Every structure is written in C-alpha cells, then in structure tokens.
Amino acid sequence: MKIKTRIAPSPTGLFHIGNARTALFSYLFAKKNHGEFLLRIEDTDIERSKKEYEDDIINGLRWLGIIWDGEIIRQRDRAPKHREYLEKLLAESKAFYCRHTPAELAQEQKNQELEKIPFRHDCQHKYDPEISDGVIRLKNPGGKIVFKDLIRGELIFESELLGDLVLAKDLNTPLYNFAVVIDDAEMEITHVIRGDDHLSNTPKQILTQEALGFNRPEYAHLPLILAADRSKLSKRHGGTSVTEYKNMGYLPQALLNFMALLGWHPATDQEIFSLEELIQEFDLNRVQKAGAVFDKEKLDSINRHYIKQLVPAELAKHIAPHFIAYNLNPEQLIKTAHLFQDRLNRFSEIKDLAGFLFDAPKYQPELLNWKNSSAGETKSNLETALMVLEKLPIDSFNIDTITTELMPVANKIGRGEVLWPLRVALSGLDKSPSPFEIMEVLGKAESVARIKKAIDKIK
C-alpha cells in the first residue's frame, strides 16, 4: 500500500503556524515512507473563502519548501461527486431529510437532555425524490466507535452521543465532515495527520465512512501548540501566519526546523536539522501527546544559527529591504551584513542595530567621556585619533590598517580613554560594535566628519 497524506486547509484566513506544523509532519511522514503528500484546498465555505487566503497558503508552503505531489485539489470543484454520494445515501435510506426548524431542534435537544437520553431525531423520512427541503442527516446506527490513533492509542466513542449527523444543508451544500470523507477516500489518503482539535470530528467521519463502505484511514492527532503559560496559542503569543514570520525576518529553514520540534523529539539531542535530515529522522512514535509549548527564544536561537551560516552577500540581500530609503550600494550592504551577522536573531532587527550607520548620531556630549576623564582630556584624545585617521589613504581605510595605526596610540594614552569616545562619536551609542568595525563600514569621509562633530560638541 502506497502511503498518502494530505494537508487540507480552508482559505478563510491566513496560513498560520499550526497548519504549517501539520503540513510539515504530514509531509515528513509521507516522504519517510516513500509516499505522496497532497494539497487540498477546502473552499466549500463560499462566503468566507477568498483567493488571497488561498494564495497565502500556497505561497507559504512553497516558501517553507513543503512541496506537494501532483496538482492542487480544490474541494469546490468536487461538488458533483459530493452530491452523488449524498443521493446514494438517501437512496439507500442511510440518510434522511430533517425538516425541523432550528428552534424545534433546540427544544427537542433540551427535552432529551432533561430525560438524560442521547439527542436523536424522529423525522427519518424514507427517501422521496419529491422531498428536497431541510438538512440531510445520516442515520446513526448506534454502538461504540473504536479506533487506534497513532499518537494517542486506542480511543472509544459512544456514537449515540453524536445523534444523527448533519451531512449537508442540501444536495449542493455538503458540510465539512461529509465532504472531507468523500475527498479523502477518492484521493486514497492512507493517513490523516492533523491537530487534536479535530479529534471530535473523527468518530463522525468514521460513521460516514462506514455508511458509504469506505476503507478507514489511519489517524494521528497532533498535540496542540500552546503559549508559554500553556494557554491556547494566540497571535499575542506567536500564533501568527507564516507570511508574518517571513516578514519578521525568519529563514524558512529555521521555521521548519523549529516547527519540527513542536511536539516531536528526535532519538538524540540534535536540534539543528535540514529538511532532508528531518525526513530521515521523523517517526510518529516520537510525537508527544501533551501540548507543545511555543518558545520564541528557541525560534530566535535557531534562526540566529541559520543566519550565521549565510555568506555576507546572501545576508545583504535579506537586509536590503530594510535600507531602501538610504540607497546603499552593494558594498555598504555587504559590510553592514558582515558587521551585524553574529548579532541578528532575525532580519527585521537590522534597522535598529545598524540604523546609526546611516543616520547622524544624536547624544549628550557627556556620553563621550570615559569614566573619570574630563571634557578636555576627551577632546584631546579625539583630536589625536583624528590626526592619525586623516593621514590614512582612502583606498586603504579598512579595519586592518585602522587598527594597525590607531592601536599604538590607544595603548599609549589608554584604550578606554581613546576608544570609548571614538566609538560614541561614530555611533552615538553606549553599546555598539568596535570603532574599527564601524569606520570600515562608514568609510573615511563619514568617519572623519562624525569625529569632528563630536569634538565640536565638547565644551
């Protein structure tokens, strides 16, 4: 039997981290077993489904590198097939039209709850082509529903508690739990891997499968992703869309690596995995039952690891959008990228870290003073450093030459007394890279100009 899994998101919202994690686990399981991973867009909710959300799903999967096999399947295109199976169930008297109004159903349910009996309906009309109003329900045969979840083990449900399931609003409007059964069967899905928020849907789908004579796929319900306080993950805690993570400056390989560790753990202590390594290592038996806590610090740490692996020219491409207003040339971008590569958790931080390189420093003159140095001493030390720097040729104004010429002066006068005010003069900050690194990025003209302005501020 060829393994087939699927991801079946609804285009009613952005492609969020939970769906992406489910897609990844489904993809890894299929590829580990030399099977297929399929994409089905469940767009039967006509009012809420939007093209922009479908595009976001597709683009998110492609950006992550979770590539599906074959063509995209759209559930709406399969409406004739859904109707065919509804008519089959009606013709076999396994389904019926329910003409109760919502108010009547609510009252009936209330009455039955008071009598402590499962909620059922007594309007099981025999199929008649002339009767075409009311919702279509599946006759519930009763009994226990037992299935083995590949993560949670054996699960048992009392089918009586489900009542007679609503399959469709009418012949042309199937509901989720009916359409998904038809589509999974016809796509020959062997394993349904999804979040455990879908666990309550599984017995309903099994009842429908049995009524239609379909084979039952294997089920694996993944633990939910939780916030740090173990509450349900929300946007405030990191439950944002994949596109937002991309815009924040995370690399796809870092987000993939992080998501793989949300609820799954490898056989070793290894934490950094390529997609190919994840395929080799992935095992559903190592997926935990408890909720997986979303740890943003860990995501940042993994992303920082991948950023450090980039060559400066590649990193420069990622940070370039953050400096469009400055019209930087490629060399400036590469130098900036190299300077802050070890400090970046994500690309969106670069503007805050490196903005001082391209905006005039703003600071109080007192910040220039090193510890107990007087204003006069600080001014003299800056002037001494300036004389050394002005003598250097523009074409050799680099970190090696600057260090070679300036360090003897700093060692003689005092490193803190020279290098502290020099760094502040160049950056305007009390914390920044070394003055040698800054000057290599700024260049001679800008470095000299900033030092002169700092000297002028000292009274």
Alpha helix stretches (DSSP H) within 293-428: 296-308, 312-319, 330-340, 350-354, 375-390, 399-413, 415-427
The predicted-structure confidence for 123-152, as pLDDT tens digits, reads as follows 554 445 555 567 899 999 989 999 999 999
At residue 179, what is the residue type? A
Taking CA atoms, 364 is separated from 315, 368, 457, in Å, by 33, 8, 9
**Distance separating alpha carbons of residues 428 and 363, to the nearest angstrom:** 5
Q: What is the pLDDT of residue 362?
A: 86
Say yes or no: 246 and 287 in one domain: yes
Can you give the pLDDT at residue 125? 47
Where among 297, 330, 357 does a domain terminate? 357
407 is a domain residue: yes
Number of domains observed in the structure of the chain: 3
pLDDT, tens digit, 9 for 90 and up, residues 284-317: 999 999 999 999 999 999 999 999 999 999 999 9
302 shares a domain with 376:
no
Are residues 453 and 385 part of one domain? Answer: yes
Distance of alpha carbon 346 from its chain centroid, rounded?
Answer: 14
Domain co-membership, 256 together with 239: yes
Apex 218 CA angle, 217 and 220, nearest 5:
135
Q: Are 217 and 29 in contact (CB under 8 A)?
A: no
| Same domain assignment for residues 332 and 406 | no
Q: Mean pLDDT in the chain?
A: 91
In this structure, are residues 239 and 259 in contact, taking their beta carbons and an 8 Å threshold? no
CATH code at position 259: 1.10.1160.10
**H/E element, 285:** none
For residue range 165-202, list pLDDT tens digits in order. 889 988 999 999 999 999 999 999 999 999 999 999 99
- 348 and 381 in a single domain? The answer is no
Q: How many residues does the chain have?
A: 459
Is 72 a domain residue? no
Average pLDDT over residues 365-393: 95
Tens digit of each residue's pLDDT (9 = 90 or more) over 220-259: 999 999 988 888 876 565 568 999 999 999 999 999 999 9
Q: Whole domain around residue 318: which residue ranges?
A: 312-357
293 plus 335 within the same structural domain: no
pLDDT of res. 454: 95
**Mean local confidence (pLDDT), 335-353:** 94
Is 1 inside any structural domain? no
Arithmetic mean of pLDDT, 248-275: 96
The CATH number given to whatever domain includes residue 429 is 1.10.10.350
In a domain, 447, yes or no: yes
- Verify that 249 and 292 share a domain, yes or no: yes
Distance CA 259, CA 269 (A): 16
At 381, the pLDDT band (50, 70, 90 cuts) reads very high
